[in-house]
Amino acid sequence: MARAIVLVIDSFGVGHAPDAANFGGINANTFANLSRYFYQHEKRKISVPNLAKMGLVQAAFEAGKSEFPVEEQKPEQGAYGYAAELSTGKDTPSGHWEMMCVPVLFDWDYFPKEGNAFPVDLIDKINLATGYKGILGDCHASGTDIINKLGEEHIKSGLPICYTSADSVFQVAAHEEHFGLDNLYKYCETVRELLADMNVGRVIARPFVGSSPADFTRTGNRRDYSILPPSPTVLDAFTQAGGHVISVGKIADIYAHQGISEKTKATGIDALVDATITHINSAQDKSLIFTNLVNFDQDYGHRRDPVGYALALENFDKRMPEIISAMNDDDVLFLTADHGCDPTWPGNDHTREYVPVIAFHKQVRSVNIGERGTFADIGQTIADLFSLDKMPYGTSFLSDLDL
């Protein structure tokens, strides 16, 4: 029986979504704008020939309603299109849950942008439960900026750095050696429990190392503590039907470990790709290998580094033949994203964008599957591929894949 591989190019938007005005992102376009910036500053077009052959560039042209500087390669093999998001947020859980047929149709709770971010009574409860005498930060901030600003004070005081963003999230940065990784995880688990009455999507542990702002560096030991999706996802249906779901990267955290059979952590895009290939080479039939390539988002999107993003994308493109070579003839590879994070956009928040929808197997012809009304079309297609019951959201495009 076929296996499915889902690669999420975290933050790789391809044009502002129809409702982008509601999210402050009109004209945001992660792929197009980083390509224009790259061409202007590096004096050459970005080159992603393997992804282009699958239809990624053409899908991006159509989603953004315009062309942009990229070494063009016409689609040769693969179903390609792009999808709008139904969910009310432009965050990681919303995008991923919708991808697996559970869109977020409720409003998240967010922390205020002005003044102190967290309610005094919440901080009092956290201090009482954890034994710490206070927190540092208590504001909206970029993760790297706040570590550079408060990292030395954190080391001296022993107090955790707590901050938030435009997403529904409570983030805790702490030094792996001075604060301790296990202490950081325990602290975040306590915060997660104390947020039970609030609809906050994630508590994120953000460990770092170094001795000063000159060398403070976040490590790969990040951990996300998510609330459960509001209803069963395709992952739940698949595992209940005897399937095997393999999480690579932060996927298991995003789904609160529900519907996950096996998990592998890795740090960096190449390591995540390596882990994915290892699983493709060894996974049993009726497996779903699900990988999030977080570094596109955290290292380049949020840090507003268009050149770094472009170079990382080119490197990922070079790895595609390895992935395809490892696949069996009846395996299906899906490429998509969970939201946008245009590295040329003001601020450092996500952008509300279409995401690419690419499906590939070794016998598929080139076919344009057009604009999709929801990310859930991917999950519905996976459900169809494995003969699962139809999910409440999404439209399968399995019939376009020549299986």
Domain termination residue (choose one: 207, 225, 243): 225
Q: How far is CA 323 from the centre of its chain?
A: 19
Domain assignment present for 396: yes
The number of domains in the chain is: 2
Report residue 269: phi and psi, to 5°: -60, -45
91 & 136 share domain: no
Is residue 176 one of the residues assigned to a domain? yes
| Per-residue pLDDT, 220 | 87
Same domain, 248 and 386: yes
Query: Facing residues of 194 across strands?
Result: none
Given 225, 248, 277, the domain boundary residue is 225
Q: How far is CA 238 from the centre of its chain?
A: 21
3-state secondary structure of 45: coil
**Do 178 and 324 fall into the same domain?**
no
CA 172 to chain centre: 19
| Residues 244, 373 within the same domain | yes
Say yes or no: 396 and 288 in one domain. yes
CATH at 212:
3.30.70.1250
Residues 235 and 345 occupy one common structural domain: yes
Residue 313 maps to a domain: yes
Which residue is it, tokens 């399968």? Answer: 396
| Final residue of a structural domain among 225, 259, 277 | 225
pTM of the model: 0.94
| Whether residue 301 sits in one domain with residue 256 | yes
- pLDDT tens by residue, the chain, 403 residues: 689 999 999 999 999 999 999 988 789 999 999 999 999 999 999 999 999 999 999 999 999 999 999 997 899 999 999 999 999 999 999 999 999 999 999 999 999 988 999 999 999 999 999 999 999 999 999 888 999 999 999 999 999 999 999 899 999 999 999 999 999 999 999 999 999 999 999 999 999 999 999 999 999 899 999 999 999 999 999 999 999 999 999 999 999 999 999 999 999 999 999 999 999 999 999 999 999 999 999 999 999 999 999 999 999 999 999 999 999 999 999 999 999 999 999 988 999 999 999 999 999 999 999 999 999 999 999 999 999 999 999 999 999 998 7
**Residue 115 counted as domain residue:** no
Report the CATH number at residue 333.
3.40.720.10
Shared domain for 65 and 189, answered yes or no, is no
Residue 114 lies in a domain: no
Q: Are residues 317 and 330 in the same domain?
A: yes
Residues 18, 129, single domain; the answer is: no
Tell me if 256 is assigned to some domain: yes
Task: Specify if 237 maps to a domain.
Answer: yes
88: Cβ–Cβ under 8 A, 6 or more apart, which residues?
94, 104, 105, 106, 107, 108
Are 182 and 319 in the same domain?
A: no
| Residue-number span of the structural domain to which 162 is assigned | 120-225
Q: What is the pLDDT of residue 359?
A: 98
Other beta carbons less than 10 A from residue 244's beta carbon = 17
Domain match, 324 and 210 both: no
